[in-house]
Structure 1
Amino acid sequence: MKKILCILIFLNTFFLAAQGLERVEPPFWWSGMKHNTLQLMLYGKDIARNTPEMEGVTIKNVRKTENPNYLFVTVNTEDVPEGKYVLRLKRGKKEVSRYTYEFRKREEGSALRKGFDSSDVMYLIMPDRFANGDPDNDSSPEMTEKADRSKQGGRHGGDIQGITDHIDYIRELGATTVWSTPLLEDNDPEYSYHTYAQSDVYRIDPRYGTNEDYRRLADELHKNDMKLVMDYVTNHWGAEHWMIKDLPTYDWIHQFSDVDTSLLPERSLKVGYANSNYRMETQYDPNASGIDRKYCVDGWFTSTMPDLNQSNPLVLNYLVQNAIWWIEYAGLDGFRVDTYSYNDKEAIAQWTKAIMDEYPYFNIVGEVWLHDQAQIAYWQKDSRIGALQDFNSNLPSVMDFTLHDAIGTVFNEDEATWNEGITKVYGNFVNDFLYPDVNNLLVFAENHDTQRLNHIYNKDLQKYKMAMAVVATVRGIPQLYYGSEIGMVGNKDKGDGDIRRDFPGGWKGDDNNAFTAAGRTAEQKEYFDFTSKLFRWRKDTPVIHKGKTKHYLPENNVYVYFRYNDKDTVMVVVNNSNEDQTLKTERLKESIGRFAKGKEVISGKNISLGEMTIAPKTVWIMELE
């Protein structure tokens, strides 16, 4: 009898353990948030058989799904003070599991945090390729892919500590804001270094560091009066995400019932996968067919990136809370949202609004990779174009891809025609009337998905200078891509890894350390000194941040524009031709007015505003006096 009793006790203990909580997300929260409800996602074997109770906190709703391993518990957080509260799971009267849930105190002024804006310069870093601050975390026993710097598409060991170690370098460059490509866990067996196929969205990938390391990076940037932007992914997760392996609901991701899964690549999930057609215009095209729109929005970005169904309220709420959790936990100053326009547009507008309601001075820039200003403008908050379809994205900032397109070709076009040469840059700003807020556009010459600027222009420093001068002086928020400021190249045609090369000096034993003035080659120094002087000047020049623009039709491949306010005027002259050009300043009188000369920002020379002759492939930036 005693033996039978022991067996029964063992079986009961085993059964109760099996009912335990494996995960609670968000893992903790804050008191005093504007949103006064919180949806807790509880996960564990057959957890739905239990009833949740929470001392001192009112449970408003308990949602079960077809998967018994999940419970979604909505609690009322209004007037819940900071402290620890016991969450119990009960089977009848018996407690089978408990979790101590913490509501933390918010940092003072958290809700009023100020996001990045047009006074900032954003520096884009691919963390795996920037600097290896902690070689001990290059590989992790928890993660499948190990470090192998010999592989172009492998993990090279760059990490959060590497960024933190080089904040002084970034500040010296004139940048005020760091945008790092994603840092959350990505357990893909290969190509995981880009981290867009995330496997746990509450955890920093251990090969980059820890959650605490990320928070420390934000703190160090803030000490230097700098900001941190997280690259956030709402459209998809990776196939290795733990929830994808045990879906809470069938429609947590988009699935296609008529797909032959035997045709999928080996690593693909054997579910109803269909690839996106990538035709984002179907989101607003009044003539689009339903099937085309479905395959844009519901189709997967790749077969290893399951497409999240934001129109499922459980998914949407999970993403909203996860985003707010990272803002509050890490002290973030902004988001860059990957593949923004591939999401269900109504749902992503709700996601964006929820975040901006909680943090009204925050900023979010969406990747809307389109090649027409009207189509890009559709996605910016309060767009009159979107309003024609009763749509408002609530998205404060979009990326100026049409300017990027122009910059990527124009400086190789030596002869001006009706639509080639520097006229392409002029033409981009003709359409500024389409945007609700031109100062909140992200302007850039390149990023981690495009050709390197110095590859396009074959390391022609003069063409680099013209491109950077335009990015630095037009309306909007300039974004730089790591390494270009020292002349780094890369050819996307050879693979994405080639445009994401290791920054020289970021690894112990590198032959060349471009992080220091003494370690730079003569060529690297020339690139860096120009870039640093340009963007440090911009940092202290408010007329560029918020001033108005007046520009003049290009003549002889020369473009002239002015940034001005009631106090200051800056004149920019870009000679894109292969010959000296003499400016006819008479037609510029409405902008030059009483000014007699200008001080050129980079050279420091004074230039008379009478007859001006500018050398070929040259840019002048002049503060008028």
Structure 2
Amino acid sequence: MKKLLLFLIITSFTVSAQIKRTEPPFWYAGMKNPELQILFYGKNIAQFQPTVSNNVVITNIAKTENPNYIFVTIDTKNIPASDLVFSFKDKSKVAFTQKYSLKERRNNSASRKSYDASDMLYLLMPDRFANGNPANDNSKETTEQADRSKPNGRHGGDIEGIIKNIDYIKELGATTVWSTPLCEDNDPRGSYHGYGQSDVYKIDPRYGTNEDYLKLSSELHKKDMKLVLDYVTNHWGAQHWMYKDLPAYDFIHQFPGFAQSNYRMSTQFDQNASDIDQKYCVDGWFVKSMPDLNQANPLMLTYLTQNAIWWIEYADLDGFRVDTYSYNDKAAISKWTKAIADEYPNFNIAGEVWMQDQAQMAYWQKDSKIGAIQNYNSHLPTVMDFTLFNAIEKVFDEDKGEWDKGMVKVYDNFTNDFLYPNIDNILVFAENHDTQRINQHYPDFKKYALAMTLVATVRGIPQLYYGSEIGMTGNKDKGDGDIRHDFPGGWNGDANNAFNKAGRTPEQQQYFDFTSKLFNWRKSNNAVHFGKMTHYLPENNVYVYFRYDDQKTVMILINNNPEKQVVKTARFSQNIKNFKTGKEVISNQNIDISNEISIEPKSALILELN
């Protein structure tokens, strides 16, 4: 009898040890959607039949062609925060058990406020921002080692480096931190960017721990700042644990195996597109090292949805930016986005829709009338203004205002604002981590100031890319590593520390002072956040527009002409009305606007009218 008991104990332990993963690792009580799909992974786990304690109802058990997976869906409605016990039976006998926790949610979690047009997002790449903890530069759990001599290698920046420099970010006038992905990316090369994730429930150990990420969120919130997670629904990395042992053949897009995307996102709505062209856009892989996820598979879609919600709850997040949004299965990504909105009605999500036409970008915004033509609603609150970005990267080198050159490019961009269902929810930027650096386009402080003035004062949510505020350059023609340099001062021993005034060069200080003054002014200006906009056709390459509400009127003049201009103000009487002077935001000078305004070459004026 004793031998039999010992055999059963050993057998039970052996089987229990076969559960290698449970995802989500835990969940939360009181969610609006009570259905919870739990993935259990272990050797031949599908041979067992699960039951659960606490009178919890199992509504579905899904087994796939791979016997190492079992997906168990339970109904958590009216189940309080508690520890559940799953029992896995072999015939009538319990072979092993697994504890599973439902945790308490934070107060008012569902009604959390997200980022909007009153915010400014500071985009950083954690590996290149600051190395707050050199002890975690390398990890036994991951392959690629830190080597700052390699432009496309790991450099050692981490979460602690962000935390230590929150005050610097806040001093700039930023209210929100958007970091490129922080989950584990175990690619053998180029893993620093984080878009080839290998474990979507775990912070990469070279950045820190899950607890460190929660600490970052908490420290930002203490300073009335917000945290945005960069989420990837379209693909994982080739080192993702699930890709190495797929639950089912159709969890990723197979041709079989790899086929390159044609990147033609217009096939998503082109009524004349061929099926094969549409398939290769949506199902094709970005690169061979990034398996393309099949969101049309219900188990995969639920997995991605729950993972996103888990991070919101766990890390107390304030918003998402979603990578390559328009490459996803469009019906599935709509369901994913709506599921998050159903749980968090005020939660903002900005989708990367990198297209060259306003109508095509507007198609992807929530409640788009263009999308409605095809009975489609993405439920995506915010899209990114890539057509404005396209104008910004050329316009300030066009000294003459012609029919299609100069500031008219910017003017024309805003003439199509009517296409967007919510023009305040559009992300505006002069660059990001995938583009040429703005200071590489324009190695001239004056032109940088023109670009930032535009981004800070037009409709939408402004975004600043780390380092531009100190004049950092980078040439994408040399590779992505060159537009993702280390922030000077982020590493022990750096000769130049631009995180504090004493360490900045005079040129860095010039860039910083302007950027900080501009965006700190913007923080408290509701007319710029949510006010209306009236603009006037550029003359002599001078663009004039107004942002206003019932309390305030702001007049912006951008002189893109290499010569000084005198602007007669009678033309702007619709907005100037009875105002006689304006206080210029950067110089603090009072300027008479009753007849004319003189503006220096390649410069801007931001006037609060009074």
TM-score (normalised: structure 2): 0.98
What amino acid sits opposite 1:225 in the alignment? D
Q: Does 1:466 align with 2:447?
A: no
Structure 1 counterpart of 2:423: 438
Structure 2 counterpart of 1:248: 247
Q: Tell me how far 1:455 sits from its aligned partner.
A: 0.3
Change (3 A) 1:24 1:384: same
Q: How does 1:73-84 map to 2 (within 5 A)?
A: 73-84=72-83
Structure 2 counterpart of 1:263: none
Q: Tell me how far 1:100 sits from its aligned partner.
A: 1.1
Match of 1:52 among 50, 53, 70: 50
Query: In 2, distance between residues paired with 1:79 and 1:511?
Result: 59
What amino acid sits opposite 1:305 in the alignment? M
Q: Tell me how far 1:154 sits from its aligned partner.
A: 0.4
Query: In 1, distance between residues paired with 2:490 and 2:14?
Result: 50
Q: How does 1:116-265 map to 2 (within 5 A)?
A: 116-257=115-256
Q: Which digits, 9 at most, give the CA deviation of each residue in 1:7-51, with x for residues without a partner?
A: 994996389437731111001001110001100001000000001
1:551–1:562 contact (8 Å) kept in structure 2: yes
Query: In 2, distance between residues paired with 1:546 and 1:245?
Result: 48
SS of the equivalent of 2:501 reads coil
What amino acid sits opposite 2:510 in the alignment? E
1:575–1:614 contact (8 Å) kept in structure 2: yes
Query: In 1, distance between residues paired with 2:422 and 2:568?
Result: 32
Structure 2 counterpart of 1:592: 576
Structure 1 counterpart of 2:290: 305
2:12–2:96 contact (8 Å) kept in structure 1: no
Q: Tell me how far 1:391 sits from its aligned partner.
A: 0.3
Query: In 1, distance between residues paired with 2:16 and 2:159?
Result: 37
Percent pairwise identity: 65
Q: How many residues align?
A: 608
1:21–1:98 contact (8 Å) kept in structure 2: no
What amino acid sits opposite 1:141 in the alignment? K
SS of the equivalent of 2:250 reads helix
Structure 1 counterpart of 2:300: 315
Q: Tell me how far 1:439 sits from its aligned partner.
A: 0.4
SS of the equivalent of 1:570 reads strand
Q: How does 1:232-381 map to 2 (within 5 A)?
A: 232-257=231-256, 272-381=257-366
Query: In 1, distance between residues paired with 2:143 and 2:479?
Result: 22
Q: Tell me how far 1:416 sits from its aligned partner.
A: 1.1
SS of the equivalent of 2:502 reads coil
Query: In 1, distance between residues paired with 2:176 and 2:251?
Result: 34
Structure 2 counterpart of 1:493: 477
The 10-residue stretch of structure 1 (204-213 or 84-93) with the greater mean CA deviation from structure 2 = 84-93
Query: In 1, distance between residues paired with 2:606 and 2:365?
Result: 30
Match of 2:525 among 541, 557, 562: 541
2:12–2:95 contact (8 Å) kept in structure 1: no
1:19–1:45 contact (8 Å) kept in structure 2: no
SS of the equivalent of 2:43 reads coil
1:236–1:305 contact (8 Å) kept in structure 2: yes
Structure 2 counterpart of 1:39: 37
Q: Tell me how far 1:320 sits from its aligned partner.
A: 0.4
Structure 2 counterpart of 1:580: 564
1:19–1:46 contact (8 Å) kept in structure 2: no
Q: Tell me how far 1:89 sits from its aligned partner.
A: 1.1
Structure 2 counterpart of 1:393: 378
Query: In 2, distance between residues paired with 1:533 and 1:160?
Result: 27
Query: In 2, distance between residues paired with 1:611 and 1:448?
Result: 41
Query: In 2, distance between residues paired with 1:474 and 1:18?
Result: 58
What amino acid sits opposite 1:512 in the alignment? N
TM-score (normalised: structure 1): 0.96
What amino acid sits opposite 2:225 in the alignment? M
Change (3 A) 1:421 1:69: same
Q: Does 1:531 align with 2:515?
A: yes
Q: Which digits, 9 at most, give the CA deviation of each residue in 1:368-415, with x for residues without a partner?
A: 000110000000000000000000000000000000000000000001
Q: Which digits, 9 at most, give the CA deviation of each residue in 1:587-622, with x for residues without a partner?
A: 111111100010000000111112211111010000
Unaligned runs of 5+ in 1: 258-271
1:20–1:96 contact (8 Å) kept in structure 2: no
Query: In 1, distance between residues paired with 2:183 and 2:219?
Result: 20
Change (3 A) 1:15 1:104: closer
1:21–1:97 contact (8 Å) kept in structure 2: no
What amino acid sits opposite 1:471 in the alignment? V
Change (3 A) 1:88 1:20: farther
Query: In 2, distance between residues paired with 1:592 and 1:12?
Result: 84
Structure 2 counterpart of 1:90: 89
Match of 1:551 among 519, 530, 535: 535
Structure 2 counterpart of 1:27: 25
What amino acid sits opposite 1:535 in the alignment? F
Structure 2 counterpart of 1:265: none
Structure 1 counterpart of 2:406: 421
Query: In 2, distance between residues paired with 1:154 and 1:559?
Result: 43
Match of 2:397 among 407, 412, 432: 412
Q: How does 1:558-573 map to 2 (within 5 A)?
A: 558-573=542-557
What amino acid sits opposite 2:430 in the alignment? A
Match of 2:501 among 517, 528, 546: 517
Query: In 2, distance between residues paired with 1:9 and 1:34?
Result: 45
Query: In 1, distance between residues paired with 2:253 and 2:192?
Result: 25
What amino acid sits opposite 2:412 in the alignment? G
Q: Which digits, 9 at most, give the CA deviation of each residue in 1:426-461, with x for residues without a partner?
A: 111000000000100000000000000000012x00
Q: Which digits, 9 at most, give the CA deviation of each residue in 1:300-341, with x for residues without a partner?
A: 011110000000000000000000000000000000000000
Structure 1 moving runs of 4+ over 6 Å: 5-8
Query: In 1, distance between residues paired with 2:123 and 2:363?
Result: 25
1:275–1:295 contact (8 Å) kept in structure 2: yes
